[in-house]
Every structure is written in C-alpha cells, then in structure tokens.
Amino acid sequence: MTQRLQIDPEFKKLIPPLTTDEYAGLEKSIIEEGCRDPLVVWGNIIIDGHNRYEICRRHNINFEFIIKSFPSLQDVKAWIINNQLSRRNLTAEQRNYLIGKQYQEQKKDVGRPVKFPQNEGIGETAKAIATEHKISRATVERAAAFTQAVDTIAGNVGEDARQKILGRDAKLTAKDVHRVAAMEPEKQREVLDKVFTGKAKSVVDARRLLRKEETKDAPPLKGKYRVIYADPPWKYGDERDGSTTGATDHYPTMNITELCDLPVSDIAEDNAVLFMWTTSPLLEDSFKVINAWGFRYKSSFVWDKIKHNMGHYNSVRHEFLLICTRGSCTPDVVKLYDSVQSIERTEHSKKPEEFRAIIDTLYTHGNKIELFARQPADGWEVWGNVPAVI
C-alpha cells in the first residue's frame, strides 16, 4: 500500500541519518526489489522506516507496515531509541547520542514504573543505563552531555546541523561539538558554515578563519612617540592539524620578518623607550625585532603568572617584558620596581594592567602608543591589527 502516514519531527530526531551512500544504496534496493521490510507505526505515525517511506512515496512503490501499541509517548520514544541502538552500523556519535537520549527520557520517567527496579531516582538513571549497555556510568553521563550539546546546536543552527553531526558528514569530534555548543548562537552558525561548506577542516580551523575575517586592517603607523608598548602577535608555528589550539586560535599572528618590517623606527623619537612582551621560545628572535625597530635591549621584567602551562622542556609560568631604548631615555621618576611581578594570569594573551601602571609611573611625559592594542587606554594612542575582543 502507498497510503500517507504521518511523520513526527520529535520521533525523526531519534533516527540516526544515513550517509549519502547508504541512502543511495537503500533507494536502489527498494526500486529494484521493492520494500522488503515493513514500516512500523504507532497509530498513523511512523516510528521505524522513515527513509523507506520517503523513497516509496517518491517512486510510488507499495509498502507494508506493522502497527504497535504503547501506553504513552515516553514509551514510544523508548522503543525507538532501543530499536535504533540495536543497529550494528551506528557511528560512535550516533550511539552516544541515542544513549544520551535514553538518559534524558528515563530521567523524565522517574516516579513512573520503569523497567529498572534499581532506578529509584534521577541519580540512578545513568547507573541503570550503564548496566543495560555494559558500559560505565561515566560513559553514560558523557553521552548525555554530548546529546545536550548536539540539541543545543540544532536549536540554534537548525535540524540540518544535527543530521550532519550525527551523520559524520562534518567529521566533528565530541570535543568539537562541545566547543561549538558553548559559543553564542550566531558564532555557532558562522563556525559550522565554514566546516559544513568545506572552507575549514575543523572547528578550530573555522575559528581561525573567522578571526582573520573579523580583523580590520590597521591604519598606517604615523606620528612620533617617546614611549612605545608592544605585545606582538608572535607566530609560534602552532597551527598544527587544524584540530588543536594555539596562538592562532586567539588572534591573527605575524612572523618575524613581518614584525621586523613594521616602520616602528619611523614613529620613535630620537630618545625613546620600548617595552616589548615576549616568551621563552621566541626570546632569541625578539632581539631581531628590537634591532630592526631601532632599539637596543637594556633590561627586563619577568611576569610570574603563578598558574603553570606545560612546555616542551619545563613547566612555563612566566613571560618577559623587555625594556629597550633608543638614544637616551632613562625613567623620569627614579623608582625601582621588583623585576619579578607575580600576578595571576587570566584570559589568553591578556597582560596585567599593573605593567602599564609601572610604565606610566616611570615615564610621566611624552607621547605614548601601544602597538597591537586589544583595548583603549587613558593617555595612550593605540594601534594594532587584532580585534578589540579576542
């Protein structure tokens, strides 16, 4: 028969999508051999066989169906989930999503008769499902978090996003899904558009591309300045495979040649001071930039970040603020600050305002400019090619 049945969107969401090749193979089989497996319906609503129904309707092919009875909507969903979990061709993402859905539905069942006698409350739901599938409770809880993340994305971006994530068309990892779900809705759409259209090979890569697109070209450097404060966007070569994070995930970077070519020498007064941030891996290259800008190294501050970051050779918890001069530019105020300043780090790349206060205290007059500024500051002109919000 080819009668018209109903499709419930909520039920269909519980059906893992077929890949393009799987769908094409199913369609070819039905066209050549007919619809061999009956559909399953609850009343007049399909609960198994959505793809077969769609193909049969499009090609006017007869199909059979089996009617099942359930006492409630929750029982229907439970049957759909268990039926889908019995499939052998599920991807890891699809299986996790269904286990997460099972967790969500059984939490709703707390207080009703359920199939697990030990399931006495919400806290035992994960344990009961873990027992059924012979997996750990933690695995169930991770699956539930993954399901929530996928549903959040689908709610903001559209149902197509859910289908692509679970169908693995986009090849997103669970970590990618959680990253996207934590973003603002508009950012979710922008990132996934890059991934789904193939413009980016991963969520991390998409974020990098968007940051570059959002960055406005900085105006030409002009004017003359006695005090120059710089936090260069050093290029660390940490783009990796596009799936892990590094400096390029937070701002567009510049290589040493690009930094050396900046006309900082042209805007520095004959007697000027440069305070420039750098890190241990780039300490040697920093002097190439300092010299290219017309300055000579004099001393440094060490920012003790308190919190550790794992490096290749040691646990790194510091950055350097190099002090360099051109001509004669000793401090206006004789005040000796401790060369090591212990201030807990916050956001990536954000430098403590305490260091600007030190500079303002030592140098009380003359034009001041901050290069690669992320935000405006009183008494300073700012210039940079990175966004105001990183």
Distance CA 100, CA 96 (A): 6
224-273: per-residue pLDDT in tens? Answer: 999 999 999 998 764 544 444 444 444 568 889 989 999 999 999 999 99
Distance CA 237, CA 234 (A): 9
CATH architecture of the domain 225-383 equals 3-Layer(aba) Sandwich (3.40)
- Are the CB atoms for 98 and 162 separated by under 8 Å? no
Per-residue confidence band for 291, with pLDDT thresholds at 50, 70 and 90: very high
Element at 93 (helix H, strand E): helix 92-108
Which residues are CB-neighbours of 44 under 8 A, at least 6 positions away?
5, 6
Highest mean pLDDT among 201-215, 216-230, 278-292, 368-382: 278-292
Burial class (CB in 10 A: 0-12, 13-18, 19+), 32: exposed
| pTM over cut 0.85 | no
DSSP 8-50: -HHHHTTSPPPPHHHHHHHHHHHHHH---SPEEEETTEEEE-H
Place of tokens 């350097």: 320
Distance CA 338, CA 52 (A): 74
Specify the domain boundaries for CATH 3.40.50.150 within the chain.
Answer: 225-383
